[in-house]
Amino acid sequence: MRMMPWLHCLRGVVGRELLRFLHQRSRFLAALVRPLVWLFVFATGFRMALGVAMTEPYQTYILYEVYIVPGLVGMIQLFNGMQSSLSMVYDREMGSMRVLLVSPFPRWYLLLCKLLASTLVSVVQVYVFLAIAWVYGIQAPAMGYLYVLPALLVTGFMVGALGLLLSSFIRQLENFAGVMNFVIFPMFFLSSALYPLWRIREGSYLVYQIAALNPFTHAVEMIRFAMYQRFNAEAVAISVAVAALLLVLAIVGYNPSRGMMARKGGGA
């Protein structure tokens, strides 16, 4: 019976986030429009960047689109993680975050529940995107959609923990635009989400080194391998380690006695 209050708390936090997501249809559409535009509109330019000749068979074009899909999946989860940080800042300004954090449950558990909710929302968005890509004719192996689920959970935890950490620094909603510019876009573009690392290395060795050190690169590679029922041990290990580190830093950041909240003079 002692587990029941913990499960009830988990269900409440996760249920609240899922209901918020369902009621915010614009957020759902925005999460899908961005990767779909990249997939349908800009695919031709990316195909040329990869050196795929216009005269090559249509199957080659489809293979490239299949290659880029994992990167766009990572984009969905990255932007959702930042969206979760925005909601955290909003909840803190409105006072609902303070009510949650003063509950009798440990602060780390409450943050973990918020992180799990954000991850589940991103997974739902990803599978809707993959379904649209499937209808369009861009299809991975059928079992790949099941194999990729653990990779999606790890990636969701990683970028969600980054969002939690950033939300401990952000005091006002107006500052979120700066976070978008200085965190999200460098993480996405300086990764292998759009181009393979070997192609980046041919263009610029410096950019290649930055992309190789970018943890988002390893998350995308983990997703890419999983979609084709393969296991990239290095990518998994790095993604899990970074997710754990970011989660610890986020918990410390929300600690009123030791984290950023204490330095700013706020408890929640």
pLDDT tens for 193-247 read 877 788 788 888 898 999 999 999 999 999 999 988 889 999 999 999 999 999 8
The stretches of the chain forming alpha helices (DSSP H) are 3-23, 25-40, 43-49, 58-94, 96-101, 107-136, 144-167, 176-179, 185-189, 197-203, 205-213, 215-227, 233-253, 260-263
Confidence of residue 52 (pLDDT cuts 50, 70, 90): very low
* pLDDT of 123 higher than 50: yes
Q: What is the pLDDT of residue 93?
A: 64
Burial of 133 (0-12, 13-18, 19+ CB in 10 A): buried
User: For position 244, what pLDDT does the model report?
Assistant: 93
Q: Is the pLDDT of residue 58 over 50?
A: no
**Res. 101 pLDDT band, cuts 50 70 90:** low
Q: Residue 183's pLDDT is what?
A: 82
User: Do 199 and 109 form a contact (C-beta atoms < 8 A)?
Assistant: no
Taking Cα atoms as reference points, which of 132, 25, 112, 160 lies closest to residue 69?
132
Using DSSP's 3-state secondary structure scheme, residue 170 falls into coil
Tell me what pLDDT residue 17 has: 75
For residues 63 and 84, what is the distance between their CA atoms, to the nearest angstrom? 33
Residue 244's φ and ψ, nearest 5 degrees, are -65, -40
Give the span between the Cα atoms of 6 and 3, in whole angstroms. 5
Q: Are 156 and 122 in contact (CB under 8 A)?
A: yes
Hey, CA dihedral for 209, 210, 213, 216, is it positive or negative? negative
Distance between CA atoms of residues 83 and 85, nearest Å = 5
Pick from 231, 225, 25, 18: nearest CA to 122: 18
Show me where the domains of the chain are located: 3-263
**pLDDT score for 27:** 67
